[in-house]
Amino acid sequence: MTERFSVTYHVRGAPADIEARAQAIAVEQSVEMPIAAIRDQTVLSEIVGRVERIEDLGDGAFAVRVGLATATVGDDAGQLLNMVFGNTSLHDDVVLSDIAIPHSLIQAFGAPRHGIAGLRSRLGLPRRALTASALKPQGLPSHALAGLAEQMARGGLDFVKDDHGLADQSYARFAERLRACAAGVAAGARASGHPTRYVPSLSGNLDQLRTQATLALDQGLDCALVAPMICGFATLQALVREFPELAWLAHPSMGGAARIAPELLIGKLFPLLGADAVIFPSFGGRFGYSRQTCRRLADNARRGDAMRAALPVPAGGTTLDRTREILDFYGPDTMLLIGGNLLLARERITAETERFTDAVAAHVFA
């Protein structure tokens, strides 16, 4: 008997059509051809997707659960995406809502190497929430970004990460910027006495990403940022396997808002590929994720089922005066990321960063 895993789609449609629609999705995401044209009995019994359940969610929406054969995915993370949503992503009335990830895929894909416990252990921070900010704007030369990095690190942050817009641009080449910012963060960390980590943003194809990851290790760094929806699932899978010493932060760029449920994409799939921490736009900032979506996303990342728990990183327009609210909502196993709003302090950035890190350190959870 073939192993199957369950994939849930939310489908909009009429009650009279939903059974045929569900069956069409099961076929589209497995053999992608008329069943009547299939002669092979093994394919019919073992490979064709099976509708397992249809639930009426009301208001013309249905949850359709389909069992797909794990063998169709193999051990390729790109193929996972292809099989669970490839062609069905072209239908605008279907959302990929959830996947019950089987243990065989967790083993094949690696899952977090460090996770919450590993990140806490590195920093010697067993309990409190973690803090981060972002280096920007792009367009600054490396030395200016490095100066900002040092000022931020002096304020006692746990992580200073590159903005995800920083790549290998002419105005600040990756290798030069990496060395400058790593030195800046190290200088700030010496001044503050806190082991602040610099997290460079890696980009490009697998060769370029490898070169960048190697440069990061050469500088003594132990974390890196990457955007899985830009580099591709299979690329991240390869990076995590080749660089297990690095803790991987996943950026949600190109993650979309509506076609794959964020709690699945960011909360489950990025960790499945090996992300130790997942950045996402929190409610109350510049983006529209609801509290419920944020709650589920954070719960999914931390639960990890048979995986190490990954660290949720709410971000996207958070301000210092909301620290208390955000921490009470997410709890201590969280990294709070305030980027642009800290930078508004301009020449007072170190003092503003200290206010942020002090507030997080002093927070007593409700």
Q: Contact at 8 Å (CB) between 338 and 356?
A: yes
Handedness of CA 227, 232, 237, 242 (dihedral sign): negative
Quote the distance between the C-alpha of residue 349 and its chain's center: 27
Query: In the complex with a second copy, which residue's Cβ is closer, 233 or 309?
Result: 233
Instruction: Tell the smallest beta-carbon distance from residue 137 to a second copy (Å).
Output: 4
- Indicate the residue type of 90: L
Tell me how far apart the alpha carbons of residues 185 and 180 are, in angstroms, rounded to a whole number.
Answer: 9
Tell me how far apart the alpha carbons of residues 78 and 57 are, in angstroms, rounded to a whole number.
Answer: 30
Which residues are paired to 67 by β-bridges? 6, 50
Question: What is the number of residues in the chain?
Answer: 366
Instruction: Tell the smallest beta-carbon distance from residue 319 to a second copy (Å).
Output: 11
Query: In the complex with a second copy, which residue's Cβ is closer, 195 or 204?
Result: 204
Query: In the complex with a second copy, which residue's Cβ is closer, 31 or 309?
Result: 31
Query: In the complex with a second copy, which residue's Cβ is closer, 321 or 364?
Result: 321
Instruction: Tell the smallest beta-carbon distance from residue 311 to a second copy (Å).
Output: 19
Q: Contact at 8 Å (CB) between 228 and 272?
A: no
Query: In the complex with a second copy, which residue's Cβ is closer, 59 or 207?
Result: 207
Instruction: Tell the smallest beta-carbon distance from residue 295 to a second copy (Å).
Output: 17
Query: In the complex with a second copy, which residue's Cβ is closer, 121 or 290?
Result: 290
Tell me how far apart the alpha carbons of residues 271 and 277 are, in angstroms, rounded to a whole number.
Answer: 8
Instruction: Tell the smallest beta-carbon distance from residue 83 to a second copy (Å).
Output: 7
Cβ within 8 Å of residue 267, ≥6 positions away: 278, 280, 296, 297, 298, 299, 300, 301, 312
Instruction: Tell the smallest beta-carbon distance from residue 271 to a second copy (Å).
Output: 19
